[in-house]
């Protein structure tokens, strides 16, 4: 099979130019005399990659100077465990707004030393909406408020009606899991205390996570934690407290550079609008053959879950899609059905191909 349009949720599609560059660099990197994966992370070649990657991330995301950028090993889930350790003291209240699977996962990472307040949850309606900001029960002296900017499985994203770019949490720092929507639009980072994103959706390969943190928050005592779990120690050691995942870091750097070359976050904002509109319009105009249940005001532009009216045709849909060169469409086991993840690396043409296939499938099975 040739390279297909890949709608996988993560690990996800990478731009072909990035993969080709990586293929070339796999054998020999510049004048290093070895592959990028074979050289020391502390050598001048890799240090240059690391520095350029940080500079490019700062440009792409317009990171203010009073924010640190960390490149840490592990996934977003790891940060869900480290964030409370670093930013909340024992006995403090932490506020969480739960709008889907990943918001719930974050709760599981909290230690008993903290007092959890679920300030709002849309679980009762099957995570098809986002609770209105006026209905959030925030705690005045909470250590932080945690939200999930885009729920990758449920397909729910904070959109303008919800105070996008960020809900107002007054003086309490806002911590946001941006794993599946980072760099899909310009965001005003100054509205956030911490933004974190596992790389394998929009930023590159799995195994590395970008954490952007307002520097003053790093002065907080937090809870007792191992040195390896200390964000300040990571910052003081250039995110190299131990051997970092150099290959992933380098690939992330290539992907970020590609996004800059393509026109940056405002261009991906435009494309995300176009791609998601194409797909939701096709679903909504299918006369009920396809269905998406999310409140249209908070429908995700990155992950579009949908269901066939006749679920007995799911396998036929997936195998037909595969034959049409469209892969990765099977829904998450939590929800079933289908899901099309249309991150930055997915071209408009890929979504058009999916929409064409969906129409064809409906015409022959309707």
Ligand X SMILES: *Cc1c(COP(=O)(O)O)cnc(C)c1O
Torsion angle (degrees, nearest 10) of CA 322, 327, 332, 338:
-60
Least gap, CB of 227 to ligand X (angstroms): 22
339 is in an annotated binding site: no
CB closer to ligand X out of 39 and 340: 340
310 is catalytic: no
177 an active-site residue?
Answer: yes
Residue 260: CB partners within 8 Å, gap ≥ 6? Answer: 56, 59, 60
CA 209 from centre of chain: 10
Give the count of beta carbons closer than 10 Å to the beta carbon of residue 18: 21
Give 60-121 as a 3 state SS string.
Answer: HHCCCCCEEEEEEECCHHHHHHHHHHHHCCCCCEEEEEECCHHHHHHHHCCCCCCEEEEEEE
Q: Count how many residues are written for the chain.
A: 366
359 flagged as catalytic? no
Q: Please, which residue, 10 or 253, has the CB nearer to ligand X?
A: 10
The backbone torsions φ and ψ at residue 98, rounded to the nearest 5 degrees and listed phi first, read -110, 115
- List interacting residues with ligand X (CB under 6 A): 10, 75-77, 102, 148, 152, 177, 179-180, 198, 201
Which of 29, 102, 249, 258 is the catalytic position? 102
Residue 289 beta carbon to ligand X: minimum distance, rounded to whole angstroms? 28
200 is in an annotated binding site: yes
21 carries a ligand binding annotation: no
Candidates 104, 177, 249, 275; catalytic one: 177
Does 221 count as an annotated binding residue?
Answer: no
Nearer to ligand X, 286 or 303 (CB): 303
CB of 195 to ligand X, least distance (A): 12
Residue with the CB atom nearest ligand X in the bound state: 75
Q: Least Å distance between CB 184 and ligand X? A: 12
CA 343, CA 356: separation in Å to the nearest integer?
19
DSSP one-letter code for 181:
T
Judged by beta carbon, residue 21 or residue 77, the one nearer ligand X is: 77
Considering the candidates 56, 162, 201, 330, report the single residue annotated as catalytic: 201
Minimum separation from the CB atom of position 320 to ligand X (A): 27
What is the residue-wise DSSP string for 261-301? HHTHHHHHHHHHHHHHHHHHHHHHTSTTSEE--S-GGGB-S
The answer to whether 177 is annotated as binding is yes
Residues 6+ apart with CB under 8 A from 355: 278, 279, 282
Binding-site annotation, residues: 42, 76-77, 102, 152, 177, 200, 242-243
Binding-site annotation, residues for pyridoxal 5'-phosphate: 76-77, 102, 152, 177, 200, 242-243
Active site residues: 102, 177, 201
């Amino acid at each position: 099979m040739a390279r297909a349009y890949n709608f996988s949720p993560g690990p996800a599609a990478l731009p072909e130019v990035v993969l080709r560059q990586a293929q070339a660099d796999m054998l020999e990197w510049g004048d290093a005399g070895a592959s990028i994966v074979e050289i020391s992370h502390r050598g001048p070649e890799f240090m240059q990659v690391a520095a350029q990657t940080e500079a490019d991330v700062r440009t792409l995301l317009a990171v203010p100077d009073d924010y640190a950028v960390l490149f840490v090993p592990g996934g977003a889930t790891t940060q869900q465990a480290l964030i409370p350790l670093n930013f909340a003291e024992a006995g403090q209240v932490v506020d969480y707004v739960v709008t889907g699977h990943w918001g719930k996962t974050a709760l599981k990472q909290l230690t008993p030393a903290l007092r959890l307040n679920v300030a709002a949850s849309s679980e009762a309606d099957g995570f098809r909406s986002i609770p209105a900001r006026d209905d959030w029960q925030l705690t005045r002296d909470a250590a932080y408020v945690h939200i999930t900017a885009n729920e990758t499985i449920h397909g729910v994203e904070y959109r303008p009606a919800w105070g996008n770019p960020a809900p107002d949490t007054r003086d309490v720092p806002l911590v946001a899991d941006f794993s599946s929507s980072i760099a899909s639009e310009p965001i005003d980072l100054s509205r956030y205390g911490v933004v974190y994103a596992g790389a394998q959706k929009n930023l590159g390969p799995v195994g590395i996570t970008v954490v952007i943190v307002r520097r003053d928050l790093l002065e907080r005592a937090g809870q007792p934690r191992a040195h390896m779990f200390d964000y300040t120690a990571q910052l003081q050691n250039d995110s190299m407290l131990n051997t970092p995942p150099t290959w992933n870091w380098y690939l992330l750097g290539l992907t970020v550079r590609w996004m800059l070359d393509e026109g940056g976050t405002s261009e991906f904002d435009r494309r995300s609008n176009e791609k998601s509109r194409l797909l939701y319009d096709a679903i909504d105009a299918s006369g009920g053959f396809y269905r998406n249940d999310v409140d249209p005001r908070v429908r995700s532009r990155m992950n579009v879950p949908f269901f066939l009216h006749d679920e007995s045709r799911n396998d036929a849909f997936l195998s037909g899609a595969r034959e049409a060169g469209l892969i990765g469409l099977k829904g998450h086991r939590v929800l079933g059905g289908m899901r099309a993840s249309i991150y930055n690396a997915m071209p408009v043409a890929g979504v058009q191909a999916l929409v064409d296939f969906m129409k064809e499938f409906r015409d022959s099975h309707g």
